[in-house]
Amino acid sequence: MDVLGQVLRDDWGRLLGRLIRSSGRPDLAEDALAQAFAQAAEQWRRAAPPANPGGWLASTAQRRLIDAQRAEVRRRAPEFRRAVASPTSVEPAESTPGDDVDDRMALLFMATHPALAEDVRPALALRFVLGIPTDTIARLFLVPTSTMAARLTRAKRRLAEIGAAFRVPPTSAWPERVADVAHAIYLAFTAGYAPGGDEVRRTADATDAVRLAVLAADLVPGQPVLDALAALVLLHHSRRDARFAGDGTLVLLADQDRTRWRAAEIAAGLGRLTTLPPTTGYAEELRLQALIAAFHATAATASDTDWVGIARAYRRLEELTGSPIVRLNRAVAVGEASGPLAGLAVLRAVGERLPGHHRVALVRAELLRRDGRPEEARAAYTAALATAPDGPERRHIAARLAGL
């Protein structure tokens, strides 16, 4: 990795934190730091980077920030300029050991502030804490770069206007705020697995969300919701290399080459999961999902999978969430654990709650096929094809129908 990439990866959050702390302006601070990185990319390509790249970026960004604040003053009508000509609030904040950790924590809480719309928080967290480029974030969320840039700008401006605090909230507020943090990071992660666009590349982009989840759990220790989230995304994402064949087609879990799963990430996920006792609410939802991912990750072959354990975890997850999607997954697990008829019985109640959902029809088709009812299976595959969006999943359904 080049010097700039290294500084971005290691120091972005710390640098941004210091700028926001000293200026109270999340909007201008983030722009200034992005400009400093752009300037570095330009200059360091032509000449050797300075001896202290982080320091160079800090002072360059600081100057940009002062320039931006002066420009703001100049833009005011002359009669309104009054005695505010020189911004005073850009003195570098005192830096003490431990501050860096606090600053990244404060960034995390600021980016997922409840006064921001829920859908922009995941993007802002990736940008603020890790410095992920806007075009990468846009690709992850399947929107044009200009749209994502406008969303981020609006969110940053709102943070400045409402006077959102740049500090770690008091522990009394943690249960809610930490759940907001977890939810935002989870949405960033699942965005990488949503169908659409360059799926192989977007799955790789979800790695940033995994980094963020692990960082969050380390920054705010002792929070079950963050530990469960980190375990879940580590375990799930460990399978990414086996998820696509060379031609970009989706490889189902059962057919994946398990030697391509990343053992170190599985171990890290299991390490976090095994220390977590059952809990409640959103943390428990994430913990149960992580548990299911762990059952898959630890099976040597697909036929070794502990489907009884998975079906049990899905049942608890369904009790907790009431989600028909969870019930759909439970039907698959029960079908594996107790046979296709038992799976079909669980599936029966799902159809009316997810009308026209191609996955309901697909699961029904698979269960009917295994139960030795090819004609009914054919009808179900056909129904699945009728509603499935274009993409790898649709091609998979077509292949299953053809192979009947």
Partner 1 sequence: MKYLVLLIGDGELPPWNALSPEQQAAGMKQFEDFDAACTAREGVQILSGEALAGPSASTTLRTRSGKLAVTEGPYAEAIEGLGGYYLIESPDLDTVIELLGVLPAYDMQITPAIDPYQM
Least distance from partner 1 to the Cβ atom of residue 80, Å: 5
Cβ atoms within 10 Å of 50's Cβ, excluding its own? 15
**DSSP-derived 3-state class of residue 239:** coil
Beta bridge partners of 244: 250
Identify which of residues 142 and 173 has a Cβ nearer to partner 1 in the complex: 173
**DSSP-derived 3-state class of residue 374:** helix
**Residue 163 touching partner 1 (CB under 8 A):** yes
Helices (H), 126-274: 134-140, 145-162, 174-191, 199-219, 224-237, 263-274
**Residue 85 touching partner 1 (CB under 8 A):** no
Of 160-168, 178-186, 279-287, 379-387, the segment contacting partner 1 by CB under 8 A is 160-168
**Residue 87 touching partner 1 (CB under 8 A):** no
Which of 51, 80, 171, 304 forms a contact with partner 1 (CB under 8 A)? 80
Identify which of residues 45 and 81 has a Cβ nearer to partner 1 in the complex: 81
Tokens linked to 66: 């002062």
Identify which of residues 46 and 82 has a Cβ nearer to partner 1 in the complex: 82
Backbone torsions φ then ψ of 250, nearest 5 degrees:
-70, 135
Of 94-102, 157-165, 197-205, 263-271, the segment contacting partner 1 by CB under 8 A is 157-165
**Residue 167 touching partner 1 (CB under 8 A):** yes
Site for partner 1 in 293-312 (CB under 8 A): none
Q: Angle at which helices 174-191 and 281-297 pack, to 10 degrees?
A: 40
Tokens linked to 251: 């490889």
- Report how far residue 274's alpha carbon sits from residue 93's, in angstroms, rounded to the nearest whole number: 40
**Residue 115 touching partner 1 (CB under 8 A):** yes
- Report how far residue 398's alpha carbon sits from residue 37's, in angstroms, rounded to the nearest whole number: 47
Which of 133, 169, 351, 392 forms a contact with partner 1 (CB under 8 A)? 169
- Report how far residue 129's alpha carbon sits from residue 195's, in angstroms, rounded to the nearest whole number: 26
- Report how far residue 25's alpha carbon sits from residue 43's, in angstroms, rounded to the nearest whole number: 27
Which of 38, 117, 142, 162 forms a contact with partner 1 (CB under 8 A)? 162
Least distance from partner 1 to the Cβ atom of residue 275, Å: 31
CB 181 within 8 A of CB 226: yes
Least distance from partner 1 to the Cβ atom of residue 137, Å: 25
Which of 9, 45, 63, 76 forms a contact with partner 1 (CB under 8 A)? 76
Which of 161, 247, 304, 352 forms a contact with partner 1 (CB under 8 A)? 161
Site for partner 1 in 170-199 (CB under 8 A): 170, 173
CB 225 within 8 A of CB 282: yes
Which of 84, 117, 263, 341 forms a contact with partner 1 (CB under 8 A)? 84
**Residue 89 touching partner 1 (CB under 8 A):** no
- Report how far residue 57's alpha carbon sits from residue 44's, in angstroms, rounded to the nearest whole number: 12
What letter would DSSP give residue 93? P
**Which residue ranges make up the site for partner 1 (CB under 8 A)?**
76, 80-82, 84, 115, 161-167, 169-170, 173
